[in-house]
Amino acid sequence: MTALLATGALLMSGCALSGEEESPTPAPTTEQTPTPREGTLLPEGTTEVEVAADETVQVALPKGSLGVGDYWGVVSVEDDSIIEADVAIGEDVVGELPSDTDEEEGGTQAFAVEVTGLSPGETTVRVLYCKRTRTVSERCDQSEGTLETPVEPVEIRVRVGRGGRANGRRSSPEFDARQPRRTRSPLTYRPRN
């Protein structure tokens, strides 16, 4: 038995001499890894969107920099009983990760028009790019922003149905021929080709 105790002591002292120690188990972290917002993001240039009532989709806008004064805003919704519309910025855009550098000068962030269907029908949302303001209007300053000026307004025709999945398409001659042209300001919409 004495030999057994001596062997155990020798082994323990050998471990101490070799400098090897058991590493402590790392404490679990409560910090969560940032995840991007989930949802539907349609590509930049989409001019028609179909959504269901209570469904929300986004349409990408050109990126800009809040730090240098770029801003996109909704200036009109033809019939606000059919949709609710706003502009999502940075981490509020589908697929974008949170960032601490969004508003630093020169840093760019994503912008998107966010549309939520309220009741069945058709309407149009109009979005403008402005500089050095968070109050977007038809006659806002577009000079010296990140984007090459003048920046064309974005108009999106939205159809809200009773059910189904959101989809969007770029302007088509058939759709454009059915829609009367409306001019509300000196800025007019020209579909992208």
pTM over 0.75: no
End-to-end CA distance of the chain: 92
CATH class of 41-178: mainly beta
Q: pLDDT (tens digit, 9 = 90+) per residue, 118-169?
A: 999 999 999 998 887 777 877 777 766 677 777 888 999 999 997 655 555 5
Q: What is the mean pLDDT of residues 50-57?
A: 96
Tens-place pLDDT, residues 6-16: 555 545 555 45
Asked whether the predicted pLDDT for residue 115 surpasses 80, the reply is yes
Question: What is the predicted pLDDT for the residue at 151?
Answer: 81
